[in-house]
Amino acid sequence: GYHADRWKKWLIANNSPTKAYFDTSDQDPFCMYNYLLDITTWNKSNRRGFIKVKITDHAGNTVESETNSEASTFQQYKRVKILTGFYQDIGKISKISLTFSTKTLIGPKHKLRILQMTLTSLNNPER
């Protein structure tokens, strides 16, 4: 990593097209482990809502993502990329669970059918 006062100078000096993700949060120890969730849905009609991700390791340790403040729109066969973060790092993931919510109390419940999904660690891209 780079010290907070030097990361921008290094990226600019090297003409890097890299985006910077900071591993900080408002909770002790101030680390956030970021993942990119890439989803392709299968629903015929559009769905708008929020995705919560839960990952579990082989020992049964589970962490749940923080909910994104903006709703995503899911269309048939269209990829949606969502940045999600966890307050704890999970080494080898054995299970991934997704929960879709529209956050409305009134109205019908909708399912989100996933055709394809990829979860990529931004902190440890080799995983």
The third-level CATH classification (topology) of the domain covering 4-121 is Lipoxygenase-1 (2.60.60)
Q: What is the DSSP string of 15-28?
A: T--PPP-----SST
Q: Structure pTM?
A: 0.70
**Whether the Cβ atoms of residue 25 and residue 12 lie closer than 8 Å to each other:** no
d(C-alpha 36, C-alpha 118), whole Å? 8
CA angle 62, 63, 64 (to 5 degrees): 130
pLDDT tens, residue by residue, 69-86: 778 888 888 999 988 888
d(C-alpha 58, C-alpha 123), whole Å? 20
The domain locations on the chain are: 4-121
pLDDT tens, residue by residue, 32-77: 888 899 999 988 888 888 889 999 999 999 999 876 677 888 888 8
